[in-house]
Structure 1
Amino acid sequence: MDVVVVGSINLDLMVGVDRLPAVGETVLGEAIARLPGGKGFNQAVAAARSGAQVRFCGGVGDDGDGAFLRSHLRAAGLDDRMLGVDSSLPTGLAHITVLPDSGNAIIVSQGANGSLTARDAAAAVKGAGVVLAQLEVPADAVEAALSAGRAAGAVTVLNAAPTTAFRPSLLAHVDILVVNESEARDLGGLDHLVAAGPRTVVMTLGEKGAVWRSEGDSGQVAAFPIEAVDTTGAGDAFCGALVASLAQGHDIAQALRRASAAGAITAQHLGAQVEQLSLEAIERMLGA
């Protein structure tokens, strides 16, 4: 298996608003969209659409939302043998408000994502070339997956979001840490993170691209100029394409350029799992 993604899977409820409401205020929104999501699922789909074979490890509830997500997971071509179904918890849910400037605000109810065990996460990464995790599932499961992956010789990648679930012991098992500017500040800054253990730290900069740092080496990747429609899934597409590119043998600079292209393609369309993202679309953008 090229890539194993250990992470969250949610139903995304998206609504467009002119502005966010103040406390105690109600604002009217535009038509609602019901879409598959969750950082883990988004990144797994992006990796698959970027050309990798992908196994997904996570959990859904035994409900209609879970069935909806399972069907989308299979349609995306993901290996779902490590997707658990929990009858005691609902499927995870994310409420996403999209602003006119394409920014967003998100509230997530964890639901069955919280049922993922360390044992299942460690078992899921067997045979992986690259292991990718985030922090929307239990930290014990994340640490077990990264530790088992590293021990088996896989490249381990952690997208440290949300930072409220971060614990420093994770970094001992991480080859590549991916954060945005806000997350980097929350975790002590880029210099601190480089010194804390990961072999490489990648910091995404939105429309300014991304930078990467490792001991004795660094680089920057420019963003592709686009008219953004919805940036909700751009970061997840970036992470998914990054690990797919690493699995395909690209070095970090090449992989980040391809990841930046995937994020740009995704940001031009509504939703986090856009059908327009493909290996061919990435190649076209790189050649433009």
Structure 2
Amino acid sequence: MILCIGQSAYDITYVIHEDLIENQKYRIYETMECVGAPATNAASLCAKWQEDSALISRVGNDLYGEKILQTLRAQGVDTRFIKELEDFKTPVSTIIAHAENGSRTIFNCPGELHPCEFQYPSSCDVILLDGHEMEASLEALTRFPDAISVLDAGTCKEETRLLGAMVDHLVCSQDFARQYSGITIDKENPQSVVDTFVSLRKLNKKQIVVTLGEDGLLYGKGNEIIHLPAFKVKALDTTGAGDIFHGAYAYGVMKKWDMEKILKVASATAALSTEKLGGNVAIPALEDVEKMIKKE
């Protein structure tokens, strides 16, 4: 079973076809609403791909919280460990998706976190953390020492640095790598890649992956640093692509695939998800991912 721990949110996406200018009015004709947030999207993917998945998270006792719970239950995610709280407002993200280049700008209202006592499953095989719900993350790592742990490290903050040193797989964004190491990865400067990995290996000596968006990713294999190019697609909306990547990564870890297969599947899955509007609703079928890989 794959246990995902972190944030749940409700995403409301508005599609634009031109750059925004302040103090102007715009008419929006395309919108999308769906559940979101890193750990939540990852749990959804694992369930859609017929793997047992559970989510430890929190929502408010409100309309958006109920929509999240209903959606996850329909997808087959084990929601028994999601706290529905009276004194908490479900996080909502307003997302501006630029249809011409696939970029997205996210405005997240996270809700005010208070200490919360979570329940845990009796066992799990893989733990995926997104850096939210820190106490639950640490508790799970302690409770399930034999589980393989994966961290989705989007930004470098105290929580992700601490968890990054504890997990088996540190899968971080280029932003995290730059913020932690102080080095900007330049594909024209191989030494910047080497120096970045030297710095990251001081944090985590196990498995490191750095995602580079449309430039693919870098991962460590022994003393080597290997570049895996991104799959080429026409992106409509990149919302949730990273979350979906991490969900597919955790799925591959659960299946005991080798790193090359894990990363190819995760990369193809994330790429396919950008061809549709929205994050959670754009999770592709595993069969479509496999077809894409065969075409490459």
* Displacement of 1:138: 3.4
In structure 2, C-alpha distance between the alignment counterparts of 1:265 and 1:132, rounded to whole Å = 22
In structure 1, C-alpha distance between the alignment counterparts of 2:155 and 2:276, rounded to whole Å = 24
Residue 96 (str. 1) matches residue 92 (str. 2): no
1:88-127 equivalences under 5 Å are 88-99=87-98, 100-111=100-111, 114-115=113-114, 117=116, 120=118, 123-124=119-120, 126-127=122-123
- CA separation of 1:8/1:165 partners in 2, compared to 1, >3 Å: closer, same or farther? farther
Residue 131 (str. 1) matches residue 127 (str. 2): yes
Aligned to 1:205: 212
> What is the CA deviation profile of residues 117-141 of structure 1, one whole-angstrom value per residue up to 9, with x for unaligned ones?
4x52xx5364111100112x23333
Q: In structure 1, which of residues 261, 264, 271 is the aligned counterpart of residue 268 of structure 2?
A: 261
Q: In structure 1, which of residues 267, 277, 281 is the aligned counterpart of residue 284 of structure 2?
A: 277
Does structure 1 conserve the Cα–Cα contact (< 8 Å) formed by 2:3 and 2:128? yes
Question: What is the TM-score of this pair, normalised by structure 1?
Answer: 0.89
Q: In structure 2, which of residues 222, 236, 241 is the aligned counterpart of residue 234 of structure 1?
A: 241
* Displacement of 1:228: 0.9
* Displacement of 1:274: 3.0
Compare 200-209 and 211-220 and name the one that shifted more.
211-220
Aligned to 2:173: 180
* Displacement of 1:10: 0.6
Flag structure 2 segments of 5+ consecutive residues without an equivalent: 182-195
Does structure 1 conserve the Cα–Cα contact (< 8 Å) formed by 2:8 and 2:91? yes
* Displacement of 1:243: 0.5
Does structure 2 conserve the Cα–Cα contact (< 8 Å) formed by 1:199 and 1:214? no
Aligned to 2:38: 39
Aligned to 2:253: 246
Q: Secondary structure at the match of 2:79?
A: strand
Does structure 2 conserve the Cα–Cα contact (< 8 Å) formed by 1:16 and 1:97? yes
- CA separation of 1:186/1:148 partners in 2, compared to 1, >3 Å: closer, same or farther? farther
Does structure 2 conserve the Cα–Cα contact (< 8 Å) formed by 1:116 and 1:138? no
The root-mean-square deviation of aligned C-alpha atoms, in Å, is 2.1
In structure 2, C-alpha distance between the alignment counterparts of 1:255 and 1:116, rounded to whole Å = 35
* Displacement of 1:275: 5.0
Compare 67-76 and 171-180 and name the one that shifted more.
171-180
1:43-192 equivalences under 5 Å are 43-99=42-98, 100-111=100-111, 114-115=113-114, 117=116, 120=118, 123-124=119-120, 126-135=122-131, 137-149=132-144, 151=145, 153-164=146-157, 166-188=159-181, 189-192=196-199
In structure 2, C-alpha distance between the alignment counterparts of 1:265 and 1:170, rounded to whole Å = 29
Compare 96-105 and 44-53 and name the one that shifted more.
44-53
In structure 2, C-alpha distance between the alignment counterparts of 1:277 and 1:259, rounded to whole Å = 11
In structure 2, C-alpha distance between the alignment counterparts of 1:256 and 1:51, rounded to whole Å = 19
Aligned length: 278
Does structure 1 conserve the Cα–Cα contact (< 8 Å) formed by 2:231 and 2:271? yes
In structure 2, C-alpha distance between the alignment counterparts of 1:48 and 1:217, rounded to whole Å = 34
In structure 2, C-alpha distance between the alignment counterparts of 1:143 and 1:161, rounded to whole Å = 18
Does structure 1 conserve the Cα–Cα contact (< 8 Å) formed by 2:45 and 2:283? no
Compare 274-283 and 222-231 and name the one that shifted more.
274-283
AA partner of residue 287 (structure 1): K
In structure 2, C-alpha distance between the alignment counterparts of 1:167 and 1:236, rounded to whole Å = 15
Identity %: 26
AA partner of residue 129 (structure 2): A
Question: What is the TM-score of this pair, normalised by structure 2?
Answer: 0.86
Q: Secondary structure at the match of 1:271?
A: coil
AA partner of residue 88 (structure 1): D
